[in-house]
Amino acid sequence: MFDNLKEKLGSFRDEAEEAAEENVEDVDEDDLKEADPDAAAAPEPAAESATDDAAEPAIGAGATPGGGAEPVSEAGVGADERVDREESDERSAEALEDDATDRVGEDDDTPAESDEGEADPAVTDEDDLAEADEDEASNGSTGFGRKARSLVKGKFVIEEEDLEGPLYELEMALLSSDVEMTVAEEILDNIREELVGETRTFTTSTGDVVEEALRDAIYDVISVGQFDFDERIAVEDKPVTIVFTGVNGVGKTTSIAKLSRYFEERGYSTVMANGDTYRAGANEQIQEHADALETKLISHEQGGDPAAVLYDAVEYAEANDVDVVLGDTAGRLHTDEGLMDQLEKIDRVVDPDMTLFVDEAVAGQDAVNRAREFDDAAEIDGAILTKADADSNGGAAISIAHVSGKPILFLGVGQGYDDLERFDPDEMIDRLLEAE
């Protein structure tokens, strides 16, 4: 699923990481000996845009023995942390050492402490202080200075031009993966905002910083409008009526059957209603699903009034304590005024609790455009994106929420009744960014 997009995001990550690596600044011993706090301290950036992990501060670059612990002002240094450090004129070597071992990555020349080690700081501190003294004696640097140097190892600033190449590549990749233009631009803007021009510190690697930026940038566009579907169903008065819309053949009826299974598994009873009175064979098709799932189907003759079918289904649900009414509708084009009028009539007659737009991931940009147009014509509450299992591009999955303002709620991932996944933006990103 979404393999093309995954691959392209992976390439961007590698290229951006390379750009970041090229900008990693080391501070050498001489600079530290001069111990000029102003020079050592990086400019104070807007901390908010740095994520927690990425922004884990490197501390104490400006620390001078006896001068107090002048912190390096880096992205994401917590205000409390900064204040604490600034106020701590008596900052001890132990405290510095603790911070050092907490924050320095594996390439630090200070051996990293294990959690157990931290639980017994006295032992390690003594060892490390002895080591620091040796260091001081051998190269003339101070013990504090040695720590400080190791801590500022992970500092870099990426300028716009460093990212120009990778970002251009990423834009092309997103567009060729069917990501809608404005969505691709939004992702790029988010990445720029996250990565460009601010001094970053990092605890493990530049790769983590880049990945975090990519993660945030994508999360921002795919999480638009998300709500807790299960909670919404739980709190609605029963029966809850859900109407499904979308064009022909995208998997509406199959999705209704999958959701019937989904609800039954969560303890809700369901009834299906065939509001597709337009297409010959529609009753038989949905009846097969109802039989397989042992669910009641309400249907009328072909050519009947879809609103009347749904009305009957709601009445049936009320009379029989059924929790959820799942209403199919005829596949329609948003441009088909007659069919769109029918939707309006359904809205008026049964006042559904939710209208879900169904489309197929493999339709890419077409699915994105239809989501917007259906929402304009008959407001939708969310989308089900079917056939994600057959889609390697992922453009619709990335774009629909941002373009329509309505969330993707489910992914169809196969033809079986259990092949339905709740759309979770975090999981989606994990999937996209997971290592090959």
Ligand X SMILES: Nc1nc2c(ncn2[C@@H]2O[C@H](COP(=O)(O)OP(=O)(O)OP(=O)(O)O)[C@@H](O)[C@H]2O)c(=O)[nH]1
Q: Is 307 annotated as a binding residue?
A: no
Shortest Å, Cβ 297 to ligand X:
14
Residue range at the interface with ligand X (CB under 6 A); choices 82-90, 262-270, 375-383, 384-392: 384-392
Q: How many other C-beta atoms lie within 10 A of the C-beta of residue 118? A: 12
Q: Is residue 57 a contact residue for ligand X (CB under 6 A)?
A: no
Q: Applying CB under 6 A, which of residues 208, 336, 389, 424 lies at the interface with ligand X?
A: 389
Residue range at the interface with ligand X (CB under 6 A); choices 232-240, 247-255, 336-344, 394-402: 247-255
Q: Which two tokens stand for residue 103?
A: 């924050």
Q: Please, which residue, 182 or 248, has the CB nearer to ligand X? A: 248
DSSP class of residue 250 equals S
Shortest Å, Cβ 79 to ligand X:
48
Q: Is 250 annotated as a binding residue?
A: yes
Q: Is residue 253 a contact residue for ligand X (CB under 6 A)?
A: yes
Per DSSP, which regions of 165-322 are E strands? 199-201, 240-245, 270-275, 296-298
Q: Is residue 249 a contact residue for ligand X (CB under 6 A)?
A: yes
Q: Is residue 66 a contact residue for ligand X (CB under 6 A)?
A: no
Q: Is 332 annotated as a binding residue?
A: yes
Q: Is residue 254 a contact residue for ligand X (CB under 6 A)?
A: yes
Q: Is residue 182 a contact residue for ligand X (CB under 6 A)?
A: no
Among 376, 423, 364, 389, smallest CA distance to 183 is for 364
Shortest Å, Cβ 411 to ligand X:
8
Shortest Å, Cβ 18 to ligand X:
38
DSSP character string of 62-121: T--TTS-------TT--HHHHHHHHH-TT--HHHHHHHHHHH--TTSSSPPPPHHHHHSH
Query: Residue 271, exposed/middle/buried by CB under 10 A (0-12, 13-18, 19+)?
Result: buried
Binding residues for ligand X restricted to 393-422, rule: CB under 6 A:
412-415, 419
Backbone dihedral region for residue 347 (phi beyond 0: left; psi -120 to 50: alpha; all else: beta): alpha
The count of C-alpha atoms lying within 13 angstroms of the C-alpha of 203, restricted to the half-sphere facing its C-beta, is: 18
Q: How many other C-beta atoms lie within 10 A of the C-beta of residue 389? A: 16
Q: Beta strand pairing status for 324-329 and 270-275?
A: parallel
Binding residues for ligand X restricted to 318-357, rule: CB under 6 A:
331
CA distance 293 to 265: 11
Q: Is 395 annotated as a binding residue?
A: no
Q: Applying CB under 6 A, which of residues 8, 13, 387, 402 lies at the interface with ligand X?
A: 387
The residue nearest ligand X at its CB is 412
Q: Please, which residue, 132 or 361, has the CB nearer to ligand X? A: 361
Q: Please, which residue, 265 or 284, has the CB nearer to ligand X? A: 284
Q: How much of the chain is in helix, strand and coil states, percent to nearest 5?
A: 55, 10, 35
Query: Residue positions in the annotated binding site for GTP?
Result: 246-253, 328-332, 386-389
Binding site for ligand X (CB under 6 A): 248-254, 282, 331, 386-387, 389-390, 412-415, 419
